[in-house]
Amino acid sequence: MQVQDPMQLSQRLAELKVEHRDLDAAIDHLAAAIGRDELQLTRLKKRKLLLKDTISRLESRLIPDLDA
């Protein structure tokens, strides 16, 4: 799904940032657990990196192109 409207991009960006923040909290909680699941921790970290990349792409799409 390609979102082109800047308002929709901003809304999607906000949603992804919330998910990224939630994942960060979940990773911290799981990392502090005594009998932690390393596989689950790795999966959460990969998901967090994917979200970070997606957020970066969306942020760059919101910056207007300037002709030199």
* Average pLDDT per consecutive 10 residues, the chain (68 residues; last block may be shorter): 76 96 95 91 96 94 73
4 with 49: CB under 8 angstroms?
no
Question: To which H or E segment does residue 13 belong?
Answer: helix 6-32
Residues present in the chain in total: 68
16 with 54: CB under 8 angstroms?
yes
Q: What are the b/e assignments for 35-56, b being 16+ CB within 10 Å?
A: eeeeeeeeebeeebeebeeebe
Report pTM: 0.80
> C-alpha angle 62/67/68, rounded to 5°?
130
